[in-house]
Amino acid sequence: MNVIVATKQAWTALKNYNQPPIMFRFGDELVRIVLDEGITRLQKLDVKILNNEMGCCANWYVEIGKKEVSKFRSASLPSKRIVENMLYEREIPLPKLTRLVDVPIFDKTGELVDKQGYDTKSGIFYLPSPGLELERVSFDEAKRLLLELVGPI
């Protein structure tokens, strides 16, 4: 099979598997979000890690036999050549991650990002810290609390 065609098919499988998204473009890196001893962090997708993800998102096989009559398919691991090709594509079809946060945050437009998961508009991934409990308050109550904290402006 043509490597370019196989790479496109691999990206299609990965995009379908990556819902909701945990793998992203972050700067010039490809990363996934992992939980490491209770701490959420980014892990760079290298050949081994991407190979692992590709093994989970598609059925891979090799054709064995030379003649059309004697050919059969055998289960296989993802091709290292295809996985490497995926890492070096010019256009990576993964969502862009701008920040990974563990508390609600305002994006650059002033919108509050407080829903757990990936916010497609801002590129922010919010995963609350374990035990974090927040109480919703009205704007007036928030203003009153801030003024109480810092004093009149």
Query: How would you write the pLDDT of the chain (153 residues) with one tens digit per residue?
Result: 688 888 999 999 999 999 999 999 999 999 999 988 878 899 999 999 999 999 999 888 777 877 666 666 777 888 899 999 999 988 999 999 999 999 999 999 999 999 999 999 999 999 988 777 777 778 788 788 888 888 766
The verdict on 32 and 69 lying in the same domain is yes
Q: Is the pTM of this model over 0.75?
A: yes
The verdict on 9 and 42 lying in the same domain is yes
Cβ–Cβ under 8 Å, residues 89 and 77: no
Report which of 8, 140, 2, 1 is spatially closest to residue 86, judged by C-alpha positions.
8
How many structural domains are present in the chain? 2
Q: Tokens 């927040």 correspond to what residue?
A: 134
The verdict on 14 and 57 lying in the same domain is yes
Point out which residues pair with 31 in neighbouring strands: 24, 44
Cβ–Cβ under 8 Å, residues 94 and 30: yes
Instruction: Enumerate residues 6+ apart whose C-beta is below 8 A from 71.
Output: 63, 64, 65
Polymer length in residues for the chain: 153
The verdict on 79 and 119 lying in the same domain is no
Domain that holds residue 33: 1-96
Which of 76, 96, 116 is the last residue before a domain boundary?
96
